[in-house]
Structure 1
Amino acid sequence: MLNLARGSAARAGVASTVGALAVRGLAVRGLVVAAVALGALTGCGSQATQPAYSPSVTVAPTASLPPATSPPPSATTPTAPTPTPSSEPSSPSVDADPARPAGQCPDDDLGVLVVPVDSGAGSIDYEVLFTNTGGTACELRGTPGVSVVASVSGPRIGPAASGGQSGVTTLTLQAGDTAQAALRITNIGTDGGPLPGCTVQRGAGYRVSPPHSSRAFFVEDPEAVACADGPSFMTIGPVTARTG
């Protein structure tokens, strides 16, 4: 009986040990399965997050473009303001030569001559003649300009004739009429005559400007002489009606 009891106890211990081993095996197997499952999940996670291979691309630097600018505003022509009519009367135009007669003889309608009329011991008298060569009447007033010149377009020799406006009147010249101005020249000869300090120089003629005209006429006279330096040697009067 004692052996049977020992055998039952031994079998009970073996069974207990086997059961414990079985439980441990299950636990170990569970851990292994869990580890395998975790490894699978970890592998899947790593595979999901691993970037796919792509070739290396180098981007060349590009030149920076200047910032876009707005086109300049188109030029606009300012509009001139419209003048406002003034109630004040406008000032009358000022004549550049108020002494010029309204019917001044056109330069193209004048013929000019210088003719000697008398001579004395100390002077020679001339007449400067202005003839209306046009077809209509015109007017002259004032004192002409006269000087001795070296040639047609050459320089003046010595001082021009001195004159004044005493006795000035307006002359009306019909077509073909002639006005005259008295010219007196000191008889200086070739040695200066009565004028001290006069250096005598012969000219080619006279340059004559009608009163209130900007045009000069050349009148040839190979006997014309002048004081190249020294005192005035000519005088000229205003135009008057010719009596002769």
Structure 2
Amino acid sequence: MGTRTPGRTRRTAATITAALALVTLGACGSSTGDGSTTTSGATGVTGADTTPTGTTTGPGTTAAANDTGDGAQGGDAGQRCGTDDLTVEAGPGDGAAGSVYRPLEFTNVSDSPCILSGYPGVSLVSGDAQVGQAAEREPAAGDLPVVTLAPGDSASADLKITAPGVYGDRCTETPAEALKVYPPEQTVSVTVAAEGLTGCTGEDAPATLSISPIR
């Protein structure tokens, strides 16, 4: 009967232990059913997010590439109306509680369609002199309308003219001869003659005109 060597026994036990560990690790993998195996806790993720890239404005939304940022959607769909493309007329007044509303009509007199969107600039004038402050913009909810005018078509904006007497001593009533009107996004004006115009002048004179967006 041979003598058992302690060192050999320890090496044999270690070999058996290592083999058992390899079997245990193999069992920890989960089969995917297609011959591949995934291991939980892996740092190299192959199922990466494939959402298309874009400018994200909020959860679940992506900014359109052609957003203009000025509230006028579709501004690149056609040529904007220049001052030379338009005639401007002031319609009859409709009075209400110390104010008069007059529509400003913009008509396309060119040979091509053009776009109007936004606020016209409006002031009262006497000769070459401005009378009082220029019109303030009336707040508009949502995007500003974008109006495409075919040749001969018209769009309008509502001009509110408040009687200077409403403001008492803050106003010196000053007659005016006409309206000076800038179409939206234009730097050349049109002078529109109208009767019965009175402005408010003085050191602390408020604006007596307000204008809506083009519709």
Give the TM-score range, shorter chain: 0.5 to 0.7
Displacement, 1:157? 0.8
In the superposition, the TM-score normalised over structure 1's length comes to 0.53
Displacement, 1:98? 7.5
Query: 5+ residue gaps in structure 2?
Result: 1-67
Q: Deviation digits for residues 22-52 of structure 1, max 9, x if unmatched?
A: xxxxxxxxxxxxxxxxxxxxxxxxxxxxxxx
Q: Deviation digits for residues 77-105 of structure 1, max 9, x if unmatched?
A: xxxxxxxxxxxxxxxxxxxx975834101
Partner residue of 1:213? Answer: 186
Partner residue of 1:195? Answer: 167
Query: 5+ residue gaps in structure 1?
Result: 1-96
* Residue identity opposite 1:214 in structure 2: T
* Residue identity opposite 2:159 in structure 1: L
Q: Deviation digits for residues 129-167 of structure 1, max 9, x if unmatched?
A: 10001111110110001100011xx12111001004624
* Residue identity opposite 2:167 in structure 1: L
Structure that is richer in strand per residue: 2
Residues in 2 aligned to 1:163 and 1:116: alpha-carbon distance in whole angstroms = 21
Partner residue of 2:133? Answer: 159
Aligned length: 138
Partner residue of 1:118? Answer: 94
* SS of match in other structure, 1:215: coil
What does 1:133-172 align with in structure 2 at a 5 Å threshold? 133-151=109-127, 154-164=128-138, 166-167=140-141, 168-172=144-148
RMSD of aligned residue pairs (Cα, Å)? 1.8
Residues in 2 aligned to 1:222 and 1:118: alpha-carbon distance in whole angstroms = 14
* SS of match in other structure, 1:160: coil
Structure that is richer in helix per residue: 1
Change (3 A) 1:211 1:235: same
* SS of match in other structure, 2:167: coil
Change (3 A) 1:157 1:204: same
* Residue identity opposite 1:137 in structure 2: P
Q: Which runs of 4+ in 1 moved over 4 A?
A: 97-100
Judge conservation of contact 1:116–1:124 (CA < 8 Å) in 2.
no
Displacement, 1:116? 2.4
Flag the structure with more relative contact order, 1 or 2, with Cα contacts below 8 A and sequence separation at least 6.
Answer: 2
Judge conservation of contact 1:205–1:220 (CA < 8 Å) in 2.
yes
Displacement, 1:106? 2.4
Larger Rg: 1
Residue 99 of structure 2 is aligned to residue 127 of structure 1: no
Residues in 1 aligned to 2:176 and 2:109: alpha-carbon distance in whole angstroms = 28
In the superposition, the TM-score normalised over structure 2's length comes to 0.60
Change (3 A) 1:165 1:171: farther
